[in-house]
Chain A
Amino acid sequence: MAIEHADVLRAAHLARLGLDEGDATHYLDDLGRILEMVDQLQSLDTEGVTPMAHPLDATQRLRADEVTETDQRDHFQQCAPAVENGLYLVPRVVE
C-alpha cells in the first residue's frame, strides 16, 4: 500500500509532530520503503488466525481498591516546564 505526501502530513498532524514540507518529503521516501518491506505480510495467508496482542496467554490481575499513593505534587512538579498554584500551565485552551 503506497503512502502519499498527504498521508505523511496527516500522520504528523495526528502525532502532533511539527514537520515542514521538506521534512515530509524526506520521511515520505523512508516511510515508503519501510511500508514496502512491511507489505510482505500481505503475501501470507492468515485466515482464521487469532491476532496476538501479548506473547504470553496471561490474563489481567486485579489490584485491591486501596488508596496507596500520597500527595507528591511538589516533587513531581520539579520536572515540569511550567506550573503555577499547583497547576500545569499550557497556552490558553478555548473550549
Chain B
Amino acid sequence: MHDKTLTELATGLSAGEFSSRELTQELLGRIDRLDGRLNSFISVTAKPALSAADRADATRADGQAGPLNGLPLALKDIFCTRGVRTSCGSRMLDNFVAPYDATIVEKLSEAGTVSLGKTNMDEFAMGSSNENSFYGPVKNPWDPSAVPGGSSGGSAAAVAAGLVPAAMGTDTGGSIRQPAAFCGITGLKPTYGRVSRYGMIAYASSLDQAGPMARSAADCALLLGAMAGHDGRDSTSVARGVPDYQSELDAPLNGLKIGLPVEYFGDGLDPAVEAAVREAVQVYESLGATVREVSLPHTHYAIPAYYVIAPAEASSNLSRFDGVRFGHRCEAPTDLIDLYKRSRAEGFGDEVKRRILIGTHTLSEGFFDAYYKKAQQVRRLIRQDFLDAFEEVDVLMGPASPTPAFDLGANKDPVSMYLQDIYTIAVNLAGIPGISVPAGFAGNRPVGLQILGTHFAEAQLLGVAHQFQQNTDWHLRRPAFAEESA
C-alpha cells in the first residue's frame, strides 16, 4: 500500500479493499521502522491518527465519505495543530503545543484525512537543505548522503520514502518545489493567497504559501481542492471561487504554448539537469505543444530582492517569540532585556539569527530606502517580467533547481546556499503558481521540471503536469530505500 498514489488509495478505500485504520497502521509501522534513518518526522501522532482513521471508516460506513476521506498525510511542522507540538523546526517552539488548528489543518481534517504527524523542516522555513532544523538534518531517501532539499525537506523525504502518500509543505522561495525536485515527487506552490495562511507560522508573509506535495499531479489536484479557498481569518487570502482542479487534468496539450526562459538555462546549470529538463520539454512537443524561448530579464535580481524582503518581514514576524506568552524562555532572567536577549539567543538557530539580523539592519533608519524600497520596486519589475511572458506563452518551463540534491554539509556558505534558489525565488516574489514534477535523474538523484503559470492558473498547471505523467514514468520511480525496506 505504501507506494500507491493518493488517488489509488482513495479508490482502494472506496472499494473496501482496506480500511483507513489498516492503511494508517501500516504507514505508522513503516514510519516506526524506517524513519530513524531519514529523520523526516519531528512528531508522529499515532493515537490521534488512529482515532481519525476510525472516524473516517465510520463516515464511510455511513455513506458520507468525500473524496479524501480516510487518506493519510503528514503536515509540515509549521502548521499549528491543536494539542500537538508545533515546533517549526526550532528549539524556540520545542515546547509549544499549539492551542488551535491552522485553517488548512481544519479543512483537511473536515475532509476526513488522517494526519500521521508533523514533518521536519528548516527552522522557521529558512533553508534549502533541511540542515537548519533543531531536530537534525533529514536524509534524502534516494541517497542518504544527499540533502532532501528545504525547507519542506521532511515532507518531501517522507513522501518519497513511502512513509506517507502526501504531505503539506510551504513555499516562500522554493521550499515546496526544490525539495520535491530533490526527492523525485510532485510539489505545487499555489498562487499567493490561494490557500489560507492562518495558523501557518509566518516566515515572510508576503511570500509564504502552503501547497501539497505528493506522488502525482492528480494527487496534488485532489489535495489542493480541499486546501484552497477564501478564509475570513486571512486578509491576504483571495475571495475567489475554487475551481474543480481535477476537471482540467485531461485537457489536451495540443497547441499549448510553452516558454523556456533563457535565464533559466544559463551559467551554473548542471548539464545533467539541463539534459533531463530539455528531454521533458521534448515530451511536451511530441504531445502537440509548441516551444519558444522567452526572457525574464530581471531574473538575476530575484535573489538579492528576496534577501531584502524575506528577512525584513521575518525579522518582524519573529519578534513575537520573546519568551513571554509561549515558547522558549531562558532561566532566571534578571530583567526584561535579559529575558528577551537570552531567550531568543538560545531559542533561535544560526540561520534564523542571520536573517533576523539582515532584516533588522536593512529596515533600519538610513538603509530603508536603499534596501527595502528598492527591493520592492525590483519586485514589481520581476512580476512584470512574468506577466509579459504570459502574454506570449501559456506556461513557462525550466529546472526547479540548478543542481540535483547536493551532499549534506556541502553548502557551508550562506550565500552559495541562497543561490541554489535562483529558479524558484522569483515565482514567490511575483506570487504566481509553480509546480515541480519528476523528470529524470542526474546520476542517482532526481531532477525536477518546474512549470509556471500565471496567477490562479493552478488547474492548467496541474493538467499540464498530469499529461506529462500520463506519458512518462519518472513519478512512479521509487528509491531503493523504500523497496529494500518494504
Touch between chains A and B, by CB atoms below 8 Å? yes
> Which A residues are within 8 Å of any B CB, using their own CB?
1, 3, 7-8, 10-12, 14-19, 27, 30-31, 33-35, 37-42, 44, 46, 49-56, 58, 60-61, 63, 72, 75-76, 78-82, 88, 90-93
The answer on a CB contact under 8 Å between B99 and A3 is no
The answer on a CB contact under 8 Å between A81 and B337 is no
The answer on a CB contact under 8 Å between B360 and A30 is no
Q: List 11 A-B contacts (CB under 8 A).
A: A15-B344, A18-B341, A31-B358, A35-B361, A55-B383, A55-B428, A56-B192, A56-B238, A58-B238, A81-B324, A81-B329
B372 closest partner in A (C-beta): A51
The answer on a CB contact under 8 Å between B358 and A35 is yes
> Which B residues are within 8 Å of any A CB, using their own CB?
95-99, 191-193, 206-207, 232, 235-236, 238-239, 298, 300-301, 303-305, 307-308, 315, 319, 322-327, 329, 333-342, 344-346, 348, 353-354, 356-358, 360-362, 364, 367, 370-371, 373-381, 383, 413-415, 418, 428-432, 455
B191 to chain A, nearest CB (A): 8
CB contacts (< 8 Å) of A91 on chain B: these are 333-336, 338-339
Q: How far apart sit A7 and B365, CA to CA, in the bound complex (Å)?
A: 12
The answer on a CB contact under 8 Å between A55 and B345 is no
B427 to chain A, nearest CB (A): 10
Tell whether A46 pairs with B193 under 8 Å between CB atoms, given A16-B341, A37-B418, A90-B324.
Answer: no
The answer on a CB contact under 8 Å between A75 and B99 is yes
Q: How far apart sit A11 and B341, CA to CA, in the bound complex (Å)?
A: 12
CB contacts (< 8 Å) of A40 on chain B: these are 300-301, 304
CB contacts (< 8 Å) of A93 on chain B: these are 336
Residue in contact with B325 in the complex, picked from A14, A17, A37, A80, CB distance below 8 Å: A80
The answer on a CB contact under 8 Å between B335 and A1 is no
B207 closest partner in A (C-beta): A55
B286 to chain A, nearest CB (A): 34
The answer on a CB contact under 8 Å between B192 and A55 is yes
Tell whether A90 pairs with B345 under 8 Å between CB atoms, given A12-B357, A37-B307, A40-B300.
Answer: no
A52 to chain B, nearest CB (A): 4
CB contacts (< 8 Å) of A31 on chain B: these are 354, 357-358, 361
The answer on a CB contact under 8 Å between B239 and A16 is no
